[in-house]
Amino acid sequence: MIIKNANIFTQDGQFVTGDVTVDGDRFATVLSETAQKDEVVLDAENLYMIPGLVDIHFHGCMGADMCDGTKEALDTMSSYEASIGVTSICPATMTIPKDELVSVMKNAGEYTYQGGAHLVGINMEGPFISASKKGAQAAENILHCDYAYFKQLQEAAGGLIKLVDIAPEESGAMEFIDQAKDEVVISLAHTASDYDTAVEAIVHGASHATHLYNAMPPLKHREPGVIGAVRDYEQCHAELICDGVHIHPSVIRATFAMFGNERMILISDSMRATGLEDGEYTLGGQAVTVKGNLATLHDGTIAGSATNLMDCMRYVVKTVGLPLETAVMCATANPAKEIGIYDEVGSISAGKKADFVLLDKDLNIVHVFIDGKEVTC
């Protein structure tokens, strides 16, 4: 197949007009045509061609949740995410009872691909967090860092766990980082840590911040906290929920200015109500009310988002005012690099999986392709 005349988002982070050829499930050539006479041609004139999006932190959608622990839930999530241009998914767990979490991991580890977005990892959000910054997590299931338990979960998941979230101020956190840092990305999350403790965790090997600003102390001029520590260490990358609810546009702009584009990762943090109408839902076993983009527990605590990653990317461009190139990078290449799958996805490059999205000038989806095959949206 040849995609002709597309405005291609190249691996250099720029849009260049040209052609791309696909051979089977892989990109064959980019910006250099080697066509056969019987090749299928897709004219993409006036369309943006971007890599399939990579969401490394979301909980569910369309009534399904990662912690449902069923094949059907993963099927539903995979299908919906593909339909909105997310082609690689790394869903997040919650702070649920120990045995239930093992079952959830086992379900993911045994999951067989049925089409849709590829399951490329698991984001282990809890139970190693702080009760004081639990957000929508269930306090009764919070645990101190436990490397043996993590290994049990990783074995159940068949090695799919890519990120583990921890509160560095809690007992055993530094020892856990030392033990696990070469196996997974350690993320600072749901934490009341001060600056010095966060720096200590980074020095030990933490390199990621979960939904920056949310479920952590604010950045203050005398108490910079986790946010200041993460900013000061360039090996650290940070997630942002850009759904129009979690973070003000001005703060998003300031954060990109402080951190730089290459350190930012757009996430949706979406929960099971995403893609559905307003109403009552659950997250991690707790009741959640959804009205528009706002999802809250009954005490008013924000409980994840009800927005998908493609809409978050559009928001960053249309409302926040960041360049499209920046938004695409932070929803494709950056998350792919963070969980170690950039050799396969995250850019339109010869030899990589042919996962891509064609958008019109208003950023509406025109076509989605996964493994070189079009997905029905």
Mean pLDDT of the chain, nearest integer: 95
**What is the pLDDT confidence band of residue 377, given thresholds at 50, 70 and 90?**
low
**What is the pLDDT confidence band of residue 298, given thresholds at 50, 70 and 90?**
confident
Q: Per-residue pLDDT for 112 more than 80?
A: yes
**What is the pLDDT confidence band of residue 159, given thresholds at 50, 70 and 90?**
very high
- Kindly report the backbone phi and psi dihedral angles of residue 29, in degrees, each rounded to the nearest multiple of 5, phi listed first: -140, 150
At residue 38, the pLDDT reads 62
For residues 219-226, average pLDDT: 98
At residue 37, the pLDDT reads 59
Using alpha carbons, list the distances in angstroms from residue 155 to 102, 158, 165, 317. Answer: 9, 5, 18, 40
For residues 25-46, average pLDDT: 84
CATH topology of domain 53-338: TIM Barrel (3.20.20)
Catalytic site residue from 65, 165, 269, 311 = 269
At residue 135, the pLDDT reads 83
For residues 233-247, average pLDDT: 97
At residue 143, the pLDDT reads 96
**What is the pLDDT confidence band of residue 202, given thresholds at 50, 70 and 90?**
very high
For residues 175-203, average pLDDT: 98
3-state secondary structure of 305: strand
At residue 35, the pLDDT reads 58
**What is the pLDDT confidence band of residue 286, given thresholds at 50, 70 and 90?**
confident
Is residue 269 part of the annotated active site? The answer reads: yes
At residue 108, the pLDDT reads 98
Q: Looking at domain 2-50+352-375, which CATH architecture does it have?
A: Roll (2.30)
- pLDDT tens-place string over residues 313-359: 999 999 999 999 999 999 999 999 999 999 999 999 999 999 999 99
**What is the pLDDT confidence band of residue 277, given thresholds at 50, 70 and 90?**
confident
User: What is the rounded distance in angstroms from the CA atom of residue 144 to the CA atom of residue 357?
Assistant: 41
**What is the pLDDT confidence band of residue 370, given thresholds at 50, 70 and 90?**
very high
**What is the pLDDT confidence band of residue 32, given thresholds at 50, 70 and 90?**
confident
pLDDT above 90 as % of the chain: 87
Using alpha carbons, list the distances in angstroms from residue 341 to 55, 127, 304, 338. Answer: 12, 25, 25, 8
For residues 245-253, average pLDDT: 97
Q: HSE, CB side, 13 Å, CA atoms: give it for residue 143.
A: 19
Using alpha carbons, list the distances in angstroms from residue 197 to 205, 206, 292, 308. Answer: 13, 11, 37, 33
Segments making up each domain of the chain, as ranges? 2-50+352-375, 53-338
Q: Per-residue pLDDT for 20 more than 70?
A: yes
Using alpha carbons, list the distances in angstroms from residue 186 to 125, 166, 207, 324, 346. Answer: 11, 7, 6, 29, 21
**What is the pLDDT confidence band of residue 136, given thresholds at 50, 70 and 90?**
confident
For residues 132-144, average pLDDT: 91
Question: Measuring CA to CA, which residue among 15, 55, 61, 46 is closest to residue 346?
Answer: 55
